[in-house]
Amino acid sequence: MGYAEYKIRIAVSEGDGGLKKAIAQVSGLTEFSFSIINKSLDARKKYRIEWEYRVAVTSPGLKGGHSPQPPGLVHESVGGSARIGVIGSGPAGIFAAVYLARSGFKVTVFERGGRVEDRRSAIASFEGGGGFPTGSNYAFGEGGAGTFSDGKLSSRSKGINAEQNYIFAAFISAGAPPEIAYMTHPHLGSDTLFSMTRRMRETLTEEGVEFRFDTEVKDLLVKGDSVRALVTDDGVHEVDHALFACGHSAYETYRMLMDRGVSFQPKNFAIGFRAEHEQRIINRAQWGQDALTGVKAAEYRLTAQAEGGIGVYSFCMCPGGTIVPASAYPGAAVVNGKSDYARDGRWANAAVVAGLSLPALLGREVSAKEALDWLDALERRYYDFSGGYRAPAMSVRDFLSGGSGASPRPSSYPLGLVAADLGELLPPGLVTPLRTGLRAFCAKLRGYDEGQLLGLESKTSSAIQALRHPESLNSGYANLYVAGEGSGWSGGIVSSAADGLRVAQALCRSVAGK
């Protein structure tokens, strides 16, 4: 039995149904089996938009060749009776818990928010006119902030092939569509993430992991260079190791860690707004037509360079999605985006942000705690402007012209909009770069100037970074680790999950004395 790989191109109208016929034509084989290695959309020629495949073929008609063995992770039983406290149940926390439990540790996951079912109910109540849900909201609760997103699984992180294979296998086992293993830009959608998150918890519970929901870690009990216990709002829990993976919105948790001697430093991050368009505008710009058979909705990824080397870029684009009130705390206003797997909604949205060095912006050195305070104050400024959770908004054209903003247009945002001059609400040093970037976006994507901007978007990445030992990856204490987006070492679902796995592996090496 021989093996070979082929590149195949098929018009989108044919879909996967014509793939086997195309393989037979290219290879000259009549008897074969195949699997898809990669699938991507090529829309450069709008008169013939194609799927491009790379396929693996095995056949008695092929000579030589062999299927490559993908890299994977191996568990070693090193845990014994050691107790691990994992703080946070987002991608970093849950994959650290998976790896540690399967390496023999006794793992307890502490999550300040509720189960994903309770979280969804709390959000629905809030968006229906109820009070702000402090424990379970778009930032906090089972699954982390990414549970309510487009569920993109692309990552720019290098050297994580083994971790990514581990992550995708776990996701598919939990109900993710198998296509995530081969699509160039895979996504899950918030609806898929909801059911997957519940299944992963059930699987881990069966494997002995304990979950403590609605339980916030308030403090540490330390002795010498080690953490001895976690102080929570329901008591004191002794641990042998503590792994914090609580996302980048848990400001007070990071302040507590800083107060306990865990070192952080400010890092570059990005802020801006959400740009919203009718999805048909993006479809026309990318495909030359309102809809494309066999393709859900058009995406975009845009970048520009402003004066002074400031990068402006789109982030977390949600085709067919909605803009949501993503504040972590009452009295602060932040927006984010989500979409379901079908991506079949009326609207498209994406973050449009400018890179930011806070020391450069303020003209002085800034501590990590000051960076959190500055960002917290900015998020509260938007709340104070609108007098609640309505989103300040203006059109792309008004922002570019320096206008004050007319009455807001229709939007997917559930809590209403208020007319605003976003140029006045944003830090002055970012207004010109964002205008430069948006002008470039309008030149690249026809119809982009028809969109509307909603602010504030401040959750693209963490404003701080934990200082880690370069090999053991611990921070501050011999048995304390900080992982995921809040650590400043990752961003997005896949890179955060991979970071959780890396830290878990480092913990295992430490226990094994390697």
**Which of 400, 330, 173, 142 has the alpha carbon at shortest distance from 247?**
142
Q: What pLDDT, on a 0 to 100 scale, did the predictor assign at position 159?
A: 86
Distance of alpha carbon 348 from alpha carbon 450, whole angstroms: 12
Per-residue DSSP letters for 396-450? HHHHHHT----S----S-TT-EEE--HHHHS-HHHHHHHHHHHHHHHHHSTTGGG
Q: Is the pLDDT of residue 84 over 90?
A: yes
Over the stretch 69-80, which tens digit does the pLDDT of each residue have? 889 898 988 878
Cα dihedral 162/188/95/371 (nearest 10): 100
Q: Higher-confidence residue: 131 or 407?
A: 131
Domains of the chain: 2-59 (3.30.1660), 83-265+464-512 (3.50.50.60), 268-457 (no CATH)
Over the stretch 326-353, which tens digit does the pLDDT of each residue have? 999 999 999 999 999 999 999 999 999 9
**Which of 278, 323, 306, 269 has the alpha carbon at shortest distance from 485?**
269
Average pLDDT over residues 486-502: 96
Q: Is the pLDDT of residue 432 over 80?
A: yes
Average pLDDT over residues 503-512: 95
Distance of alpha carbon 395 from alpha carbon 446, whole angstroms: 16
Beta strands 264-266; 311-318: pairing state = unpaired
Distance of alpha carbon 41 from alpha carbon 10, whole angstroms: 10
Q: Is the pLDDT of residue 405 over 90?
A: no
pLDDT band at 421 (very low <50, low <70, confident <90, very high): very high
What is the separation, in whole angstroms, between the first and last Cα of the chain? 42
Distance of alpha carbon 21 from alpha carbon 33, whole angstroms: 12
pLDDT band at 302 (very low <50, low <70, confident <90, very high): very high
483 in Cβ contact with 93 (< 8 Å): yes
Over the stretch 141-199, which tens digit does the pLDDT of each residue have? 999 999 999 999 988 888 899 999 999 999 999 999 999 999 999 999 999 999 999 99
Helix residue spans in 145-273 (DSSP H): 161-173, 190-206, 251-259
**Which of 474, 200, 493, 248 has the alpha carbon at shortest distance from 379?**
248
Q: Is the pLDDT of residue 22 over 90?
A: yes
Beta strands 210-212; 83-87: pairing state = unpaired
Q: What pLDDT, on a 0 to 100 scale, did the predictor assign at position 14?
A: 83
Residue 121 CB contacts under 8 Å (≥ 6 apart), including other chains: none
Average pLDDT over the chain, rounded to whole?
95
Point out which residues pair with 338 in neighbouring strands.
Answer: 322
Single-letter residue type at 420: A
Distance of alpha carbon 353 from alpha carbon 457, whole angstroms: 8
Q: How many CB atoms lie within 10 A of CB 149?
A: 26
Q: What pLDDT, on a 0 to 100 scale, did the predictor assign at position 330?
A: 97
Q: What pLDDT, on a 0 to 100 scale, did the predictor assign at position 263?
A: 97
Over the stretch 98-133, which tens digit does the pLDDT of each residue have? 999 999 999 999 999 999 999 999 999 999 999 999
**Which of 341, 394, 353 has the alpha carbon at shortest distance from 191?**
341
Over the stretch 25-40, which tens digit does the pLDDT of each residue have? 999 999 999 999 999 9
Element (H, E) at 33: strand 33-42
Q: What pLDDT, on a 0 to 100 scale, did the predictor assign at position 407?
A: 83
Q: What pLDDT, on a 0 to 100 scale, did the predictor assign at position 21?
A: 93
**Which of 17, 7, 16 has the alpha carbon at shortest distance from 38?**
7
Over the stretch 232-261, which tens digit does the pLDDT of each residue have? 999 999 999 999 999 999 999 999 999 999
Over the stretch 360-378, which tens digit does the pLDDT of each residue have? 999 999 999 999 999 999 9
Q: What pLDDT, on a 0 to 100 scale, did the predictor assign at position 6?
A: 96
Q: What letter does residue 192 receive in the DSSP assignment? A: H
Point out which residues pair with 34 in neighbouring strands.
Answer: 57
Residue 131 CB contacts under 8 Å (≥ 6 apart), including other chains: none
Cα dihedral 179/11/289/312 (nearest 10): 50
**3-class state of residue 232 by DSSP:** strand
Element (H, E) at 393: strand 391-395
Over the stretch 201-233, which tens digit does the pLDDT of each residue have? 999 999 999 999 999 999 999 999 999 999 999
Q: Is the pLDDT of residue 16 over 80?
A: no
